[in-house]
Amino acid sequence: MLCAALAAGACATPGRYQAEVARQRALGSDLVTCKKTMLDESRGKEKLIVEKNALDAERAELVKQIEGEKAGVSALREALEKERTATAIKEDEIERIQGSYQALVDSLQPEVKSGQVEIEKQGDRLVVRAADKTLFDSGSAEVKSAGRPVLAKLAAGIKGMTDREIRVESHTDAVPLKSKRFASNLDLSASRAATVARFFAASGVPAKNLAAIGYGEGRPLAGNDTAEGRQKNRRLEIVLAPFPLE
């Protein structure tokens, strides 16, 4: 009986050992699986963190772009408003200038009808053109008594245009000048322009707005080969224009 018991014990021990070995192996496998799972979860968490950071950066960039677009829209709105205001001011200015020009044109209608002066609008400029015989004797730079009322009416019409440049431009034909006082047509035209500018200044036109220019024969309106063309070229022009931009 003792032998039988020992034999039975000997047979049972290897079985328990094998079971324990299997259990340990299973535990080891479970541990490996657990570690792998934890590692996968850690990697997944890191991936999520990276993705979150990328999304945060993308969101920040989108917010920045939106803010930039808002600023751009605001700047565009402000620029448009300034442009509207500038346009309105310019339109008012144009209307005011045109009103001043029209008042001057209306006041000179008798002189226009009599052929003493011509008036030409050139955009934002107005040119009042008078034949030299209306204002001066041949070869002279002194205003004739018959021409003074014309200049006086002109002065009255332009002295309130303080924001306009008032250029007195004198022109001659190409016939050589025979004069003891003036060496050339250029000298004569310069003297005539200065005489009229002084007349305007004495009549209340702001001197700072005035300019006197003698062109001589340099800027003809017509050919100098006919009497009619030469007569057209002998002229005095009052040019009303905006001051040049500095």
Phi, then psi, of 185 in degrees rounded to 5: -60, -35
pLDDT band at 77 (very low <50, low <70, confident <90, very high): confident
Domain ranges of the chain: 108-242
pTM for this prediction: 0.63
pLDDT band at 243 (very low <50, low <70, confident <90, very high): confident
pLDDT band at 198 (very low <50, low <70, confident <90, very high): very high
- The pLDDT assigned to 94 comes to 59
pLDDT band at 184 (very low <50, low <70, confident <90, very high): very high
10-43 tens-digit pLDDT: 555 777 888 888 888 888 888 888 888 888 888 8
Percentage of residues in the chain having pLDDT higher than 70: 89
Query: Which architecture characterizes domain 108-242 according to CATH?
Result: 2-Layer Sandwich (3.30)
- The pLDDT assigned to 96 comes to 63
